[in-house]
Amino acid sequence: MKVTAIYGSPRTGGNSEVMGDHLVTCLEKSGATVKKFHLNKMNYRGCQGCMGCKAPSSESCVLTDDMTPLLKEIPDTDVLILSSSVYYGDVTSQMKGFIDRIYSFYVPEFWLKENKSRLNPGKKLVFLLAQGNADENLYSDITPKYNRLIGTHGFDKNYCVQACGVQLKGDVAKRADILEKIEKTAEELIG
């Protein structure tokens, strides 16, 4: 199983990073190969809307920056982990920057096509979200929205662990319920 783990929090050792690392450790124990990317340590731009990726001679994003090697990993990835803090009711801007760049995987005029993506189906998507607010109904709209959009790229199974009421760095490490949910998710991913 090939896993790409993307960390969207700017806070080193923050709650979503702890969640991501916990899932990665569980998957590695089962023999998965994991590549990790900390977006805040990378230099990249958001999608420029240039449509260079849709030109006849091009199959991928034409921007060349730290996102380039990460995007190259996605076609062979079986499990994509997106861990992020909740900022203003959404993923962090670092994570949104990554999500916009996967627009490059759409085929030209994808809106007219049945097969919209250059990626193969059968991939799995995992969202790990950390939010300060303890109300789990708040921000429960984040993952359905992105699951639907990223799902068009062949991610036909999706999973989410939403850690609520984790405000300070390290809070999630004390939450046995969340760590357990992550372990359960790992078991489901391994099958």
Ligand X SMILES: Cc1cc2nc3c(=O)[nH]c(=O)nc-3n(C[C@H](O)[C@H](O)[C@H](O)COP(=O)(O)O)c2cc1C
Judged by the rule CB under 6 A, the positions of this chain that interact with ligand X are: 9, 11, 14-17, 85-89, 130-133, 166-167, 169
Smaller CB separation from ligand X, 14 or 97 = 14
User: What whole-number distance in Å separates Cα of residue 95 and Cα of residue 114?
Assistant: 27
Inter-axis angle of helices 176-190 and 15-29, nearest 10: 40
CA Rg, the chain, in Å?
Answer: 16
Smaller CB separation from ligand X, 85 or 185 = 85
CB of 164 to ligand X, least distance (A): 8
CB of 48 to ligand X, least distance (A): 25
DSSP helix/strand/coil, 152 = coil
CB of 15 to ligand X, least distance (A): 4
Smaller CB separation from ligand X, 84 or 158 = 84
Smaller CB separation from ligand X, 93 or 147 = 93
User: What whole-number distance in Å separates Cα of residue 36 and Cα of residue 39?
Assistant: 10
Which of 66, 68, 63, 70 lies closest to 48, judged by CA? 63
Smaller CB separation from ligand X, 115 or 167 = 167
CB of 140 to ligand X, least distance (A): 12
> Could you tell me which residues come within 8 angstroms of residue 136 by beta carbon, excluding any fewer than 6 positions away?
162, 164
Which of 64, 125, 54, 114 lies closest to 91, judged by CA? 125
CB of 162 to ligand X, least distance (A): 10
Residue closest to ligand X, measured at CB: 14
